[in-house]
Structure 1
C-alpha cells in the first residue's frame, strides 16, 4: 500500500503525476492513495493511476497500518510532515528540511537534490526512487471522465460554441502579478486569432481571484465566439472544458501544466520564473521568453517596469502561434 500526501499548487500536483505513473508502471498491483489538499484533489482524481483520493483530514485505514505500507510526503513544509505524523500514517518518507526530519521515518537529503538545479518533476521522482529504485521518465497524463466531457460540451452548446475550433486562454496566475503577461497583450492576441481564423472560438479560464483580468480581456468581443468561465467552474469542470480546446495560451501557471497533461499543443509565456525548473512537460508547449538581466527573479510582484513580460509583445509571438494554429486546423 502506498499513501502520498499531495501538494498544494495545481502545477506542482501535475508535475508529481509522472512519479505516480512510474510507480504504477513498475508495480501495477500497488494501491496508490493520495491524501490531497482541497485545492488539488481534482487533479489527482483525474489521474488514471490513482486508486483513491482522501481529504487531508483523513485518518489511515486499518490496512495502511501494515508493516509494508509506505507513506510519502511530497510537500516540503514542516506542517505536511506533522500532518502525516499526527494522523498516524506509517513509514513516513520525505525530504529532510524545515526542521522536520524527526517527524519522518526516513529523511532524504533535500540539499543534494536542490544542488542539482533540475526540473521540479525530478523532486518527486528522486524521493520515490529512494524507496522503489530507478523509475522511468514519463510525462504527466490526465484523464477526463465521459460525464465531465458531456458537461463541458453542454457548457459550450449553451454558448453556441460547440462547433468552433477552440483556443483556451489563461491570463491569470495565482502566484502573483509578476507572472502575468499584460491583459492588453492577451486582448491583442485574442483579436488576432478571431480575425485570422473565422472558425475559431476563445475560452477564457480564470478562478475567483483572477477573473478580473478575463473580464477586462473579454470586453468588445462577440459573445458567440468568446466565453469566459469567470471563476465559476470547479477545477474538475475547468479541466474538462480545457480538454475540449485544441490549443492553449497561458502564463507559467497550473493551467499550463494541465494543458500539457491533457496532450494539448500550446504556448507558455515566461517572465520572472525559470522554464528550466518549472517548464511544461509533454513536448507540445512552446515556451516564449524575453531575456532580461533580472530574470528569473522569482518575485511575485515586479518592483520596477515588468520588462521581462512587456518586452515580449504580441507581434513577436504571433507568427509562431499562427503557424501552430494553421497546422492544427489542417489536422482537424
Structure 2
C-alpha cells in the first residue's frame, strides 16, 4: 500500500498528525506513507519514523496556483498512490490528490469538497474535541468510533544529531538547560509577557539553570527584549532566528526543562518527551493540549478566556499578565524536587 499524507501548514498541527500516522501503520502492514508538506514543516516530518518520503508543497497560504498544482499532481500520479489522507479542511488542499487521480481521497467534508474527497468524514466536535483526535479519526471508517487512547507523538533526536547541532552553532550544552519559546505565530494574545519571561529566567538562574531562547526570526525582537529585562549576571542566550527548525528540535531535545506559549515548538517539545510547562492565554488546552505525560499546563481559566483572538479584545490580557513568574517557577521545579 502506498499512501500520501497531505500535511497541515502549521508546525504544531503537523506534530499532532503523528498519532494518525502511527495508527495507519498499525492497520496497514507494509504501508509506505509519504507526505506532501510545505517546506517550513518538513523538518518535523523528517523526525517521524512513519514518514518515508516528503514531497515539497511550494504553495504559500492562500495561493491557488491551479497550473502549478496540476503539474505537481501529474508528477505524483507516477507514484501510484492508492490513498490520500487530506488533513487540512480547505478546498485547495484536496486539489492535488484529485488531479493526481489517487483513487481514495480521505478527509472531512470541509469547504464543500464533495467529489474532491470521496471518503468523507463528518466532524462531530463533541465526540472529537482535540485536533489530534480529529486527524486520527481519518484512519477509521466514516462514522466508526475512534479507538482510545491515542498514541503519543514522538520525534527523533539522537545524541549525534544534538552534538552536530551544538557544534554548528558554536554552543556547549550546560548541565541544566532551560529553553524558553516566547513566541507564538498566531498573535500576542498567546504570548506570556516578556517581563515575566525575564523574571523567570532570573529565578531559574538562581537554581543553576542556563536559559536559552528559541524561536523564528520573527521572535528575535521578543528574545532581545527578554535579555534586556533580565539581570546582567545571568543573561539568557537569544537563539531566535539563529537556528533552523531541525536545529531547534535538537536543542529542545537537549533541554532539562522547556517553557512555552501555546505554539508549534510547544508541541515539538512535548513530542520530544521534555519536561514542559505550557502557558495558555487566549487559546484552549482542551483543543490543542501538549500530548505528553511530562507536560504541565498553566491557565488561569478566566471568564473571558479562551477567546481565540489574536489580540486581547478587552485590552488587558489578564489571562497571561496575571500568571505570575513565581507560579511558573513552582511548576518548573515541581518535578525536580528530591
Normalised TM-score (structure 2): 0.87
- Checking the alignment, whether the CA contact within 8 Å between 2:107 and 2:121 is kept in structure 1 is yes
Tell me the SS of whatever aligns to 2:40: helix
Secondary structure of 1:301's counterpart equals coil
Q: How far has the Cα of 1:228 moved from its partner? A: 2.1
- Deviation at 1:226? 3.2
User: Per-residue deviation at 1:316?
Assistant: 2.5
Equivalent of 2:212 in 203, 207, 217: 203
**1:155 deviation in Å?**
5.0
RMSD: 2.2
What is the CA-CA distance between 1:64 and the residue it aligns to?
1.9
Q: Quick check: 1:279 aligned with 2:292?
A: no
Asked whether the 8 Å contact 1:22–1:135 carries over to 2, the reply is no
1:257, distance to aligned residue in structure 2 (A):
0.6
In structure 1, stretches of 5+ residues that fail to align are: none
Residue aligning to 2:274 = 264
Deviation at residue 106 of structure 1 after TM alignment? 2.0
Q: Is 1:189 aligned to 2:212, yes or no? A: no
Deviations 1:59-86 (A, max 9, x none): 3153425xxx111101111110123223
The count of corresponding residues between Structure 1 and Structure 2 is 318
Partner of 1:100: 113
Q: Write out per-residue CA displacement over residues 4-51 of structure 1, whole angstroms, 9 at most, x where no aligned residue.
A: 100011111001101101222333411111111122111111101111
Measured after TM superposition, the shift of residue 164 of structure 1 is: 2.6
Instruction: Provide the rounded CA distance (Å) in 2 between the counterparts of 1:231 and 1:34.
Output: 26
Q: 2:186 aligns to what SS in structure 1? A: coil
Normalized per residue, the structure richer in helix is 1
> Is 1:317 aligned to residue 328 of structure 2?
yes
Q: Is the 8 A contact 1:60 1:88 kept in 2?
A: no
Structure 2 SS opposite 1:38: coil
Q: Answer yes or no: is 1:180 the counterpart of 2:194.
A: no
1:146 offset after TM fit, Å?
5.5
SS of residue in 2 equivalent to 1:39 = coil
2:26 counterpart residue number: 25
Q: In structure 1, how many angstroms separate the alpha carbons of the residues matched to 2:161 and 2:236?
A: 21
Which sections of structure 2, spanning at least 5 residues, go unmatched? 59-71
CA contact (8 A) 1:291 1:308 kept: yes
Question: In structure 2, what is the equivalent of residue 60 of structure 1?
Answer: 76
